Amino acid sequence: MDTGGNSLPSAAPDGVKRKVCYFYDPEVGNYYYGQGHPMKPHRIRMTHALLAHYGLLQHMQVLKPFPARDRDLCRFHADDYVSFLRSITPETQQDQLRQLKRFNVGEDCPVFDGLYSFCQTYAGGSVGGAVKLNHNLCDIAVNWAGGLHHAKKCEASGFCYVNDIVLAILELLKVHERVLYVDIDIHHGDGVEEAFYTTDRVMTVSFHKFGDYFPGTGDVRDIGYSKGKYYSLNVPLDDGIDDESYHFLFKPLIGKVMEVFKPGAVVLQCGADSLSGDRLGCFNLSIKGHAECVKFMRSFNVPLLLLGGGGYTIRNVARCWCYETGVALGIEVDDKMPQHEYYEYFGPDYTLHVAPSNMENKNSHQVLEEIRCKLLDNLSKLQHAPSVQFQERVPDTELPEAEEEQNEADERWDPDSDMDVDEERKPLPGRVKREIVEAEPKESEGQKGSSGHARGFDTTIAENASGKVSLMRTPARKIECETHNALLFIDYSAHKILKGTCFY
Active site residues: 150
- What CA–CA distance (Å, rounded) separates 494 from 474? 15
- What CA–CA distance (Å, rounded) separates 75 from 71? 7
- The reply, when asked if residue 158 is annotated as ligand binding, is yes
Q: Are 333 and 322 in contact (CB under 8 A)?
A: yes
- The reply, when asked if residue 312 is annotated as ligand binding, is yes
* Residue 142 DSSP SS3: strand
> Sign of the CA dihedral 100, 105, 110, 116?
negative
DSSP 8-state symbol, 228:
G
Residue 247 pairs in a beta bridge with none
- The reply, when asked if residue 187 is annotated as ligand binding, is yes
**What amino acid is encoded at 345 in this protein?**
Y
- At residue 192's C-alpha, the angle toward residues 191 and 193, to 5°, is 95
| Cis amide linkage into residue 215, ω under 30° from 0 | yes
Q: How many CB atoms lie within 10 A of CB 493?
A: 10
Q: Are 128 and 117 in contact (CB under 8 A)?
A: no
- The reply, when asked if residue 212 is annotated as ligand binding, is no
- What CA–CA distance (Å, rounded) separates 201 from 176? 9
If residue 119 lies in a helix (H) or strand (E), which one and from where to where?
helix 115-134
- What CA–CA distance (Å, rounded) separates 442 from 27? 27
- At residue 146's C-alpha, the angle toward residues 157 and 7, to 5°, is 140
* Residue 217 DSSP SS3: coil
- The reply, when asked if residue 164 is annotated as ligand binding, is no
Strand order in the sheet with 487-491: 477-480, 487-491, 496-501
- What CA–CA distance (Å, rounded) separates 52 from 42? 16
| Closest C-alpha among 64, 150, 66 to residue 104 | 150
| Cis amide linkage into residue 356, ω under 30° from 0 | no
| Closest C-alpha among 148, 185, 183, 181 to residue 73 | 148
* Residue 366 DSSP SS3: helix
**Annotated binding-site positions for a divalent metal cation:** 185, 187, 273
